[in-house]
Structure 1
Amino acid sequence: MSRPAPWLLYAILAIVAAILAANTFFVVDQRQEAIVLRLGQPVRVIHAPREAGGAGLNFKTPFLENVVTLDRRNQAMEADQEEIVTGDQERLVVDAFLRYRISDPLQYYRTLHDEHTAQDRLERLVNSSLRQILGASTTDDIISGKREVLMAQSRADVAKRAKESQLGIDIIDLRMKRVDLPTANQASVYTRMQTNRQQAAAQYRAEGEQKKREIMAAADKEVTITLAKASEEGAETRGQGDAQRTRIFAQAFGKDPSFAAFYRSMQAYEAGLGQGDTTLVLSPDSAFFKYFEQGPNAGAGPATRR
């Protein structure tokens, strides 16, 4: 019986070595973490944040252990559209997305096993939380008024539920991507919102008109008081001026009675004839015209006419 050729033996040894190496050594990427399973049970984690061992070349017991890799980066999940009944009995269709990361790979694998199961479980948590949080809020709050506050409450609620369920996951963020009205409800909701805005605008206009009337009434009152005070002060000032004028005239008339008579006659002429359209029927020798005939000395005594 002939012996096998040496090259055939070397080839068999090389194949056995390659199979053994393939089942012993494995590489963990920087973006991954690996769970080593022994007979289907997880025994250790490689390149996890809190575990020994790092990325790169690693080894396992051949044929007894196998490796499951998980993504250690932040992951995104988009939840299916969910129809929610709000606190004011309106229906809304909500699209939400979630960002999370694996914080405990062993717990994650024991509870969820794979990414598909994890996303299915998280989607149910998100939808349940949104129905609870948004169902107690009004449509206006969800659309604009308190959207950020409601999302923060939902995010905290989902994080709490994930921790209580021991999913091995940290919730990073939860957002509503879109909030729409069901097609059948859009017209009625838009009409109601328009009516509410018109009522609010009418109320603001009424309050503004009332405020305007109050301001105008206060201003009119202030003007009336100011005018009354000014009129009173003016009358008092005019009275003082008239008294002063009368006193000065009295002193001046007492010193020269003829000049006083002449001055009063000039004032009478100005008042009676100043307009140019006055008709007087008087006797030619009337005292009213004595200064026209005799001049300023008409009322003076003999000493004055000299």
Structure 2
Amino acid sequence: MTNRNKLTILAIFVGGLLLLASQTFYVIGQTEQAVIVQLGKVVRVVNAPGRGDGPGLKVKIPLSESVIRFDKRNQMLEATQEEILTGNKERLMVDAFLRYRVKNPYLFYTALGDGTNGQRRLEQRLNAALRQALGTADSEDIISTRRSELMGVIRNNLARQAASSRLGIEVIDVRIKRADLPLANQNAVYERMKTARQQQSTRIRAEGDQKALEILGTATGEAERIRGEADAERARLFAESFGKDPAFAGFYRSMRAYETSLGQGDATLVLSPDSEFFRYFGRGGGE
């Protein structure tokens, strides 16, 4: 046997050993977890949460067993743009994404398949949840006012589905990136939103004006009541004082008469000098 033949045989032998080694040994990283599948069935799970076997070099049966890897970190699934009919029969073009984490690779694989198939089936579930939640909401709510609330509803629905269907995932978040009207509908919907806002503003202003009138009426009534009580108290005090001192009562009434008659500016009185009206004008007037 020539040296060349020996080298060829050696190369084939070494190559066979390397191929056998590649089919026998595999490495699982810190951020990875895996299921080992044999003839379509999961025979064991590697480096999953709560398991003692950690990452590192592992051994499998050559050619018979295959390794299906899953990332242990948070994953983001961006759904393709979906056209959704809203509760008020408007069509919206919705872009959304799902953030999740594979917590049980065995359940994930048995329910959804490997990574590629699992992503596709999760996207189908996400789109179904979007249609269910947004199909009962008005387009205005989706575009502006209730978007955060609706995203929470979708996330909770998906989380319940994941638990009941044993998908082996934790639903972390669902976000609607965009919710746009088709160009043909945009102007009509925005005009309707503008009109609704104007009507709401008018209603709030009218309610405020009515409330102000009610407060003013209440305050005016209270002021009249207090003024009436004060006048009554003053009259009572005057009557009490007049009863005790008739001379002062006569003097006070005369002063009020002078004020009323002479305080008009251009008023003219024609009276006799010895009239009772001038009783208190004299030096010795009065009692």
Q: Which residue of 1 aligns with 2:77?
A: 77
The amino acid across from 1:222 in the alignment is E
The Cα of 1:103 is off from its aligned counterpart by 2.9
Q: Which residue of 1 aligns with 2:96?
A: 96
1:283-294 matched pairs, under 5 angstroms: none
How far apart, in 2, do the equivalents of 1:36 and 1:246 lie? 119
How far apart, in 1, do the equivalents of 2:62 and 2:249 lie? 137
Larger radius of gyration: 1
Structure 2 residue runs without a partner (length 5+): 251-257, 276-282
How far apart, in 1, do the equivalents of 2:76 and 2:140 lie? 28
CA 143–72 in structure 1, closer or farther in 2 if over 3 Å, else same: same
User: Which segments of structure 1 move beyond 6 Å, counting only runs of 4 or more?
Assistant: 278-282
Q: Which residue of 2 aligns with 1:234?
A: 234
Q: Which residue of 1 aligns with 2:45?
A: 45
The Cα of 1:76 is off from its aligned counterpart by 0.5
How far apart, in 2, do the equivalents of 1:112 and 1:12 lie? 40
The Cα of 1:226 is off from its aligned counterpart by 2.5
Q: Which residue of 1 aligns with 2:29?
A: 29
Structure 1, 156-165 or 218-227: larger mean CA deviation: 156-165
Structure 1, 240-249 or 177-186: larger mean CA deviation: 240-249
Q: Which residue of 1 aligns with 2:118?
A: 118
Question: Cα RMSD (Å) of the superposition?
Answer: 3.9
The Cα of 1:46 is off from its aligned counterpart by 1.6
How far apart, in 2, do the equivalents of 1:161 and 1:249 lie? 94
Q: Which residue of 1 aligns with 2:254?
A: none
- 1:137 is paired with a residue of what secondary structure? coil
The Cα of 1:82 is off from its aligned counterpart by 1.9
CA 57–206 in structure 1, closer or farther in 2 if over 3 Å, else same: same
Q: Which residue of 2 aligns with 1:187?
A: 187
How far apart, in 2, do the equivalents of 1:213 and 1:249 lie? 44
The amino acid across from 1:113 in the alignment is G
Matched, 1:156 2:148: no
The Cα of 1:30 is off from its aligned counterpart by 1.0
1:190-205 matched pairs, under 5 angstroms: 190-205=190-205
How far apart, in 2, do the equivalents of 1:52 and 1:225 lie? 85
The Cα of 1:193 is off from its aligned counterpart by 1.7
CA 141–240 in structure 1, closer or farther in 2 if over 3 Å, else same: same
Give me the TM-score of the superposition, normalised by structure 2.
0.74
The Cα of 1:53 is off from its aligned counterpart by 2.8
CA 165–187 in structure 1, closer or farther in 2 if over 3 Å, else same: same
- 2:48 is paired with a residue of what secondary structure? coil
Q: Which residue of 2 aligns with 1:64?
A: 64
The one-character-per-residue Cα deviations of 1:2-61 (angstroms, maximum 9, x if unpaired) are 576998476665444433333322211111123333355432222122555321111122
How far apart, in 1, do the equivalents of 2:229 and 2:107 lie? 89
- 2:191 is paired with a residue of what secondary structure? helix
Contact map agreement 2:24 2:60 (CA 8 A) in 1: yes
How far apart, in 2, do the equivalents of 1:216 and 1:287 lie? 53
How far apart, in 1, do the equivalents of 2:150 and 2:166 lie? 24
